[in-house]
Structure 1
Amino acid sequence: MAEITYKKSTINENNTVEITVRHILHFSDVHLNISKSLNASDSAQIPVAYGDDAPIRLLVSALDYAKTLLPDPDFFLYTGDHAVHGELSNEYLTEAVEENVETMAKYYSTEDNATTLDITAIIGNADTSPDYTMNVTDPETEENPMISLISGAWNNTMSRSNLDWFNRRGYLAYALDDNLIVITLNTLPYSPSHQPDTSNLPDPFGQFAWLNASLFELRDAGKLAYIVGHIPPIIDSYAGAPMWNETYIKTYKQIVSQYTDIIKAQFFGHVHSIEFRLPLSSSLSTQFQQNGVTVDDNYEDSSKLVPLFMTAAISPLFFNNPAFMVWDFNSTTYDILDLTVYGGNISEATQKVGWKSLFQASTEYGVSSLSTSEITRFVERAAADAQLLEQYYFNSKAQSRLQSSCLDAACQAEWLCSLYWWSTVADFTSCVTSTKAAKSKESSAIKRSISSSAGSLLFASAAIILGGIIATAAFVLVASRVCRRGGDQAATKLLQRQRVHFAAVV
């Protein structure tokens, strides 16, 4: 298996130029399933299966393949959910998070490798006990007990200053190089499932104020940013539910929309699905309203904001294929150029994953980059091409053989509308209702057209057959005359030719 190359040819209006491409290796949502005994031998016996979280052997298998493919990525990104789903003891939770991080460190934080694992310190909802539980504490006066419970996993990979900051807040900023800062978010308090309920707080942990100030400082310093986190600020494609409380989605979007010139990427996990959300511009919002979509939120013109991407999961809990991703980015502009998904089906016989390259966005979706303009063109094509949208849907679960079809009007409407970055459930639902009605109308028109065509074809066929019968009768009459005039041999040849003609008509 060849390593990923570091060069990529791109075509501009005048000629072909070669640019240097750097790579992000992106793992997420392992949900490491270790034995309750915390015994390594017991953990090694846990099977790999659809519908279950990932045992250690599945994580090792993924890392083995990734290491051969990309031995020294520019950075290793992990967007949360280290531990298995379920009610976990503090001891089990701590052990699961530590083993997940330490296993990744064996491959990508070694003496011969410059990769940092700071950007694996992203907390998922499954990294707390109970699930989604974290008290909102004052970062100026104390460490957060839930964060500090698991932060020992990064004792050997994170600087002391970053670790102290992280223990108090659950978020941090990491300088990838002199030009790019990776901002990690603590998304847990924004979830509607967060316990205790703190949805009345305008800014849990002071994170929004910090994010705004950080982006302002980066712009002032001439630097760029990637924003990463676990739970994405979206309306979910699966249930049409908000992943963040809607007020928090709006606040986040209001902040990032002010810094479209420096934000180059937004990466999240959680949904176990490879998806994106296209920002809505004012013109697109107006177009939706003209098509009957009731738009509740006042979408500012964010056409220059980069799309928001969700990544694959290693855990096959939701019958998705285990998968990870590699992002290509321009080493000069830091624009995201492409993504490649690596994964495979789980063999029932061997419990092994047939790791391979599943698809690359540039070839699969016909895009030259992952910019807003290119993604917009893809969405326009998908809206008019049911098979293309179906392929996007199939790819979302890393091409799992257990993935169902999505060609009916309801499923197509839901997934088409999920391509847009809505702020409210009402807006998403209105889009689905309007799109479903339009697709159902199109389907009915097609059926009527097919029915009409079938009727016309039946009428035409009947006419042709009747004509053939009449012609045959005429030929029989002629043949009889030929028989009288030219003998049986000539008549037989004429009738044989007509039987062939009649059979062809029918």
Structure 2
Amino acid sequence: MPDDVPSSSSSFSSHRFLWLSDVHLDPYYGTSLAFQESYYVGSNCDVSDDDDETTTGRYGCDSPPSLVVGTINASRGAMTTTKTTTADGGDGGDPSFVIVTGDVVRHGIDQIYVTGDFVEGAESRLDNSSSSAAAAAAVDDAASASYHARAMAEAGSVMGEFASALRLAYPNSIIVICLGNNDVVPDYYLELFEDGNGNGEGGGGGEVPPTPETAGMLGVLYDALVGNIDDDDEDYVPSSILKSEDMSTFLRGGYYHRTLHDGSMIILSLNTVLYSAFHGPHAHRYIDDPGGQFAWMRMILSDCRLSSRPCSAMIVGHVPPAMGSYRHQQLWKEGYIRTYYKIVKEFDDVVMGQLFGHLHSDEFRVGLANEGNDGWIDENNVTSIPALSTPLLLGSSVTPLHGNNPSFRIVRYDRGMRRRGGTTSDDDDVGYRIVDYDSYAYSAIGGDKNDGGGWSKLYTFSEVYGDAASDIIKEEGLSSGTFRAIVGAMEDGRWGGESPISRVYRSFKLSGANREENQFGANGTCDSNCRDDYVCIFQSTTTAGYERCILERGKVWYRVVRRKAPGTVAGVLFAVIIVGVAFVKCRRMRRDKRKHYDFAPSVHDEVRDDGMDARDQEMI
């Protein structure tokens, strides 16, 4: 048991699960090959082995192995000291399951092997039509192609190392690890080989199913998560995260599911890399259902609904189908956003939660459904999150790369009355719901944990947001209704400025990190522009939706002042001015956010073939 075991939780439930996200394990931390963000000028990830800071990590650096092991140990300690009234399994200290919402592997792992001109995907790219002549020649260069295979193998090794450590800590728990954009090589680049000839992006069933040897990066990750990796360490523990029956879906598209509680709960692990706005190699092509994942998702949810007993489904993935809060980027391609929400809305009665990562910060997204608008212009145009029963919960990260404290969550869930279609009735089926969670953070980054820092419980959701939504939390748990009430409290105008709930939200966004250079934590100011930005980010799924939201909030000023502007001409002129001001305001807000969040130099080209600046990616 580590010395810095977090304090126990103040409330109990019959079931719990551990939630980790964005681990970004860097086995090269402390060496010249360590990954480092450029905007932390004073940060040095190349620290000597005898430096005490090596064991804690630093802001601006990815996670050293000791920090990752410490995180797992701290989570184990927290689980042991918060045993549930009904044992989840084993000795009662084990969670029912463990969720890792993607990005286990450090950033830029392919950079380690760069020796000359960089060509993304040189080991497997089939379509070089957009490449320059020099790049096409490099693809044929065996020396250039070989390092990609080495980078892929290294990513698999990191994934296997982490999965084995997690399995060793939780031998009796189901463990679900989603794929993130940094778990594939290069970043965001993932080809599908479901029919054995490289045409797997179409989602149709091929005659020759893929094998681990023919599935490229998915084959490497499958071997790592099954435990089929070479390791001479006699203490090595196979990860056994995946099972042989997962082979067909994982090798086809990187997705799988788990059933627990005697079939009354299902976890769907999605591969959201396929839907990312930055997914390669076919960035310019839109494929209705890459890897057949949407069809599979609909089938699993349908089976859950038709089950002989009440069944609840939890959807987990890495990149959320929403807007990013730092660079204000649309994270999924619009067509995939439409399909995803169409499916989730159809099966709203069985979906108990939507958990994602990627942003490295403690956030949420929710359909606000105000003034009769549930987010749909029509079913083919979804620019904001529809009125669903469950919000999107976004997990904070283990890596302190972006100035946040490392963190994890212990989430409590139980059976209860489920909300269906935004209402609750006595006729609703009884299913599982998320009822609360404890967030834990590590506050000794780059320093001595004996100076008062270390792992401790940061907050309990129901306690810090109780003033805004205590009655709803008691009745519904962490439903969309709960988060709508929180957003309402954040907008409470009684305070003549930022509300206390808004300050609470911002204080936890970076898991308690309050360094002066953090522009998005508690130290930053949040004026009316900032508050408009938060509300629009909470509900928007596309860039167009976000900008329209900002414009609509500008019209609120118009509706208030219009009553004091007599005359039709004056009213029209005022409306034009307000819309123009709101448009400029929207653009300025996006620009101001961007200037505080520059990205580290990367081996990736700064300008892609389609003209998009690669530095616009929400997270590299």
- TM category (shorter chain) comes to 0.7 to 0.9
The CA deviation at 1:44 is 9.4
CA distance in 1, matches of 2:374, 2:312: 31
CA distance in 2, matches of 1:197, 1:346: 42
Q: Which of the numbers 518, 530, 554 marks the counterpart of 1:411?
A: 530
Query: Which residue of 2 is the match for residue 465 of structure 1?
Result: none
Q: CA RMSD in A?
A: 3.3
CA distance in 2, matches of 1:377, 1:65: 32
**Structure 2 residues without counterparts, runs of 5 or longer:** 34-47, 80-92, 111-150, 196-204, 227-237, 417-430, 561-620
Preserved contact between residue 313 and residue 350 of structure 2 (Cα < 8 Å)? yes
Match of 1:354 in 2: 454
In the TM superposition, what whole-angstrom CA distance separates every residue of 1:87-108 from its partner, at most 9, and x where no partner exists?
Answer: 4222321221111111212211
Query: In 2 relative to 1, CA 356–32 (structure 1 residues): closer, same or farther, beyond 3 Å?
Result: same
Contact preservation (8 Å) 1:49, 1:351: no
Structure-2 change in CA distance of 1:359 and 1:218 (3 Å): same
Equivalent in 68, 71, 84 of residue 62 of structure 1 = 71
- Structure 1 104/237 Cα, relative in aligned 2: closer, same or farther at 3 Å? same
- 1:317 paired with 2:401, answer yes
Q: What residue is the counterpart of 2:198 in the other structure?
A: none
Whole-Å Cα distance in 1 between the matches of residues 318 and 405 of structure 2?
Answer: 19
Decide which of 145, 154, 157 is 2:216's aligned counterpart. 145
Residue 323 of structure 1: how far off its partner (Å): 0.5
In 2, Cα distance between the equivalents of 1:224 and 1:96?
Answer: 33
| SS of the residue 1:73 aligns to | coil
Matched letter for residue 26 of structure 1: W
Deviations 1:54-112 (A, max 9, x none): 01111111112111110411111111111110142223212211111112122112xxx
Q: Which amino acid aligns with 1:132?
A: Y
1:81-92 equivalent positions in 2, closer than 5 A: 81-88=103-110, 89-92=151-154
Consecutive aligned runs of 4 or more in structure 1 exceeding 6 Å deviation: 42-45, 286-289, 439-442
Cα displacement (A) at 1:427: 1.2
Q: Which residue matches 1:115?
A: 173
Instruction: Specify the code of the residue in structure 1 equivalent to 2:258.
Output: Y
1:29–1:313: 8 Å Cα contact kept in structure 2? yes
- In structure 1, which of residues 176, 184, 188 is the aligned counterpart of residue 269 of structure 2? 184
- Distance, in Å, in 1 between the alignment partners of 2:76 and 2:251 is 30
- Per the TM alignment, residue 192 of structure 1 is displaced from its structure 2 partner at its CA by 1.1
Q: What secondary structure does 2:531 align onto?
A: helix
Offset of residue 211 of structure 1: 0.8
SS, match of residue 335 in structure 1 = strand
Indicate the SS of the match to 2:63. Answer: coil
50 and 136 in structure 1: CA distance in 2 versus 1, 3 angstrom threshold = same
Report what 1:398 is aligned to: 511
The verdict on how the C-alpha distance between 1:287 and 1:310 changes in structure 2, with shifts beyond 3 A counting, is closer
Change in Cα spacing, 1:27 to 1:439, as seen in structure 2 (3 Å) is: farther
CA drift at 1:311: 0.4
SS at match of 2:438: strand
Asked if structure 2 preserves the Cα contact closer than 8 Å seen for 1:231 and 1:268, the reply is yes
Q: Which residue of 1 aligns with 2:322?
A: 234
Q: 2:392 aligns with which of 308, 314, 325?
A: 308
Greater mean alpha carbon deviation, residues 423-432 or residues 77-86: 423-432
Distance 1:228 1:261 in 2: 17
**Taking structure 1 as reference, are residues 54 and 298 closer, same or farther at Cα in structure 2, changes over 3 Å only?**
closer
Over 3 Å counting, the alpha-carbon distance change for 1:214 and 1:347 in structure 2 is closer
**Aligned runs of 1:238-277 on 2, under 5 Å?**
238-277=326-365
SS in 1 for 2:358: coil
Aligned length: 420
More helix by share: 1
Is the Cα contact below 8 Å between 1:50 and 1:346 reproduced in 2? no
Question: How many angstroms apart in 2 are the aligned matches of 1:288 and 1:296?
Answer: 8
Distance 1:108 1:160 in 2: 20
Please say which structure displays the higher CA radius of gyration: 1
Q: How far apart are the structure 2 equivalents of 1:382 and 1:280?
A: 13
**Cα 1:159–1:303, aligned 2, differ >3 Å: closer, same or farther?**
same
Q: Distance in 1 between matches of 2:441 and 2:558?
A: 35
Tell me how far 1:171 sits from its aligned partner: 0.4
Say yes or no: does 1:340 pair with 2:438.
yes
**Conservation of the 8 A alpha-carbon contact between 2:320 and 2:358:** yes
Task: State percent identity of aligned pairs.
Answer: 26
* Superposed displacement of residue 399, structure 1: 1.5
User: For 1:325, what is the secondary structure of its paired residue?
Assistant: strand
Change (3 A) 1:192 1:351: farther
Alignment partners' CA distance in 2, 1:195 and 1:410: 35
Structure 1 residue 238, shift from structure 2 partner: 1.4
Matched, 1:219 2:305: yes
- The answer to whether 1:76 aligns with 2:98 is yes
> What's the CA shift for 1:299?
7.3
- Of residues 249, 252, 257, the one that matches 1:165 is 249
* Alignment check: 8 A CA contact 2:375 2:386 kept: no
Structure 1 residues 298 and 190: CA distance shift in structure 2, 3 A: closer
**Residue 431 of structure 1: aligned partner:** 549
Aligned pair partner of 2:186 in 103, 126, 130: 130
Aligned residue in 1 for 2:164: 102
Distance (whole Å) between structure 2 residues aligned to residue 106 and residue 317 of structure 1: 26
- Structure 1 position 261, deviation (Å): 0.8
Distance 1:235 1:2 in 2: 33
Distance in 2 between residues matched to 1:301 and 1:418, nearest whole Å: 10
